[in-house]
Amino acid sequence: EGVERVPQDDGPDPVVPINYSVEFTEAMDYFRAVLQADERSERALDLTEKVIALNAANYTVWGFRRDCIDALGKDWAEELMWVTELAPDNPKNYQIWHHRRCCLKKLGGHPDELAFLDDFLTDEELEDAKNYHAWAHRQWVVKEFGLWEGELAFVERMLEMDIRNNSAYNQRMFVIKHTTDMGRPVREREVDWVLQKIAQVPNNDSSWAYLRGVVAGQGLSSYDALKMAAGAMCERMPPPLHAIELQADLCVEEGSKDEAKSLFSKLASDDSIRAKYWNWRAAQVA
């Protein structure tokens, strides 16, 4: 009442106008009106809920909703409960996860947030244990509120469910980098840890990427456990491609150029899709 609808301005001659539903058009017309008037009222807040139900990706509506909540003095804990109900139907929606973070900032944290994320990432119906948004949000929560204790144990549980979960490996690296000095003893411990994962699934890209991250810039040949593991895995039939590459890089470091070239040539033969890359690597061995 008392609000004049503001239609969408597509210009005088729209080339391909979108065929919006009547309900969506009406809701957006009224939303543009209250937004222009900066009306931070109960009915404006209710309208944002309707618009979000029609299009949860509209970031302008989410921002205005937060303005309304602040202006009306609403309970941010109730808002957090409301956005929690939306999460399962919009698991990869940037706006919902950002809004959740805003709620937690207003509240100064929430004791059940990690439990919510635990349930979300292990929900058998969602089957979304690698959800980028959930893991990114988890990293923010853990860092923002200092909830590091128990995080490595959670990562281990996730890897027990799926040893190929690259998001879990990334989370472990995040925790290690923020809770240790990444000194030599820490790196050696992590090398030993990830080599056990590789032994379980030798062709797992995620665990090999983690291994490379742990020893980055350190010199591969300085890790005895790494050298032994690479040699042993290259004896497997067939040997994992990652193990051959590691052995080749070790040979490069140690000056065994002919052996390194031979290993890169083997990779070119065994991994035909990336043959040009492996041949280039061989050519780089001076």
Question: Which residues are identified as catalytic?
Answer: 92
Distance of CA 218 to the CA centre of its chain: 26
User: How many CB atoms are closer than 10 A to CB 146?
Assistant: 9
Residue of 57, 2, 6 lying closest to 27 (CA atoms):
6
Cis peptide before 238 (omega within 30 of 0): yes
| DSSP-assigned letters across all residues of 81-142 | HHHHHHGGG-TT-HHHHHHHHHHHHHHT--TTHHHHHHHHHT-TTT--TT-HHHHHHHHHHH
φ, ψ dihedrals at 2, nearest 5°: 80, 10
Asked if 37 contacts 30 with a C-beta cutoff of 8 angstroms, the reply is: no
Q: Is 73 helix (H, G, I), strand (E, B) or coil?
A: coil
Nearest of 136, 169, 145 to residue 155 by alpha carbon: 169
- Residue 132 CA to residue 135 CA, distance in Å, equals 5
